[in-house]
Amino acid sequence: MNSIKRLLTLLSVMVLIGLLIVIAGWGLSRGAATVLLGIINYGLLIGAIAFFALTFLLIYAIIMLRAKRVIPKLLKNAVKISIRMLYPVLVGIGKPLGYDKKTIRNAYAQLNNHIILSNEYHFRGEEIMILTPHCLQKSTCGLRVTQNPDLCSRCGQCNVNDLVGLKEKYGIQLAIATGGTLARRKIMELKPKAIIAVACERDLISGLQDVKDLPVLAIVNRRPEGPCINTEMDILEVEKGIRHFLKE
């Protein structure tokens, strides 16, 4: 939640910047020496107003979601669009202000999850897919669970055992990918209607930007031994996501 608070602060700074750009753009437009320069300035002014509006909209939605108030579906869709459009700007402005990419990505994932969990879904088990990176598998394991998770020996030394258990319990689909290309291929092959993705912040944000038409619950993994090796996840959080998507 601290990441969300920091995101609100950064967005507030962006609102001030956007407001200054709008005021400056308006002044330049009115004082343009030529018609062409006036058109260019007006174009910049319109862009600044759109930037300002999207940022303000995102702030409003975050406040509403944090207060656990229901927001209209139209606003939720607008927020998804604004997140995708503003994310590069957030990273660019945040760096000189001391906001690292990890903080912004984490806030992005949290906000996405707030939106997903505020919606109602009624999917069957087979319409839900858990998508995870192969680094959840114990590095010393010789089995190729990326090809078929059911090959897991169920030794319990890593979370693959837990994932297979959820697959059997709820009848969901499970895909373990070695990278973004394979992950996208799995989505195209299995054609889920909802995804629970487990990964690091960077891969989650990349995936959220790629998958635009499906609800994706983004769960940040734990990395006790560093990135991309013997990572872990909160299995209870994953199961909570499954139950949220399931048809009652």
User: Can you give the CATH number for the domain in which 141 is found?
Assistant: 3.40.50
Which pLDDT score is estimated for 8? 77
Which pLDDT score is estimated for 232? 95
**SS3 sequence of the chain:** CHHHHHHHHHHHHHHHHHHHHHHHHHHHHHCCCCHHHHHHHHHHHHHHHHHHHHHHHHHHHHHHHHCCCCCCHHHHHHHHHHHHHHHHHHHHHHCCCCCCHHHHHHHHHHHHHHHHHHCCCCECHHHEEEEEEHHHCCCCCCCCCCCCHHHCCCCCCCCHHHHHHHHHHHCCEEEEECCHHHHHHHHHHHCCCEEEEEECHHHHHHHHHHCCCCCEEEEECECCCCCCCCCECCHHHHHHHHHHHECC
**Neighbour-count burial of 158, counting CB atoms closer than 10 A to its CB (0-12 exposed, 13-18 middle, 19+ buried):** buried
Query: 134 with 241, same domain?
Result: yes
| Residues sharing a CB contact under 8 Å with residue 213, sequence separation 6 or more, in sequence order | none
Q: How far apart are alpha carbons 94 and 127 in whole angstroms? A: 38
Mean pLDDT check: name the lowest of 69-73, 143-147, 227-231.
Answer: 69-73
Query: 7 with 114, same domain?
Result: yes
- Average the pLDDT over 80-107 and give the result: 81
Query: What phi and psi, each to the nearest 5 degrees, are found at residue 143?
Result: -85, 145
Query: 110 with 140, same domain?
Result: no
Query: 151 with 190, same domain?
Result: yes
Please, what sign has the CA dihedral across residues 107, 108, 109, 111?
positive
Question: pLDDT at residue 240 above 70?
Answer: yes
Query: 96 with 160, same domain?
Result: no
Query: 96 with 137, same domain?
Result: no
More confident residue, 181 or 2: 181
Which pLDDT score is estimated for 33? 47
Please, what sign has the CA dihedral across residues 113, 119, 120, 123?
negative
Q: pLDDT by residue (tens digit) across 209-225?
A: 888 789 999 999 999 99
- Average the pLDDT over 10-37 and give the result: 63
Mean pLDDT check: name the lowest of 94-98, 149-153, 199-203.
Answer: 94-98
More confident residue, 130 or 56: 130
Question: pLDDT at residue 23 above 80?
Answer: no
Q: What's the pTM?
A: 0.82
Q: Count CB neighbours of 32 within 10 A.
A: 15
- Average the pLDDT over 111-137 and give the result: 92
More confident residue, 28 or 98: 98
Question: pLDDT at residue 29 above 60?
Answer: no
Question: pLDDT at residue 63 above 70?
Answer: yes
Select from 86, 118, 150 the last residue of a domain.
118
Domain ranges, residue 30 = 2-118
Query: 129 with 241, same domain?
Result: yes
Query: 42 with 145, same domain?
Result: no
Which pLDDT score is estimated for 219? 95
Select from 75, 93, 118 the last residue of a domain.
118
If one counts the domains in the chain, the total is 2
Are the C-beta atoms of 3 and 107 separated by less than 8 Å? yes
Question: pLDDT at residue 13 above 90?
Answer: no
Query: 130 with 107, same domain?
Result: no
- Average the pLDDT over 33-61 and give the result: 68
Query: 174 with 210, same domain?
Result: yes
- Average the pLDDT over 142-146 and give the result: 87
Query: 90 with 167, same domain?
Result: no
Query: 47 with 112, same domain?
Result: yes
Distances (CA, A) of 79 to 33, 57, 210: 38, 7, 16
Which pLDDT score is estimated for 44? 66
Select from 68, 94, 118 the last residue of a domain.
118
What amino acid occupies position 228?
Answer: C
Are the C-beta atoms of 43 and 52 separated by less than 8 Å? no
Question: pLDDT at residue 104 above 80?
Answer: yes
- Average the pLDDT over 124-133 and give the result: 95
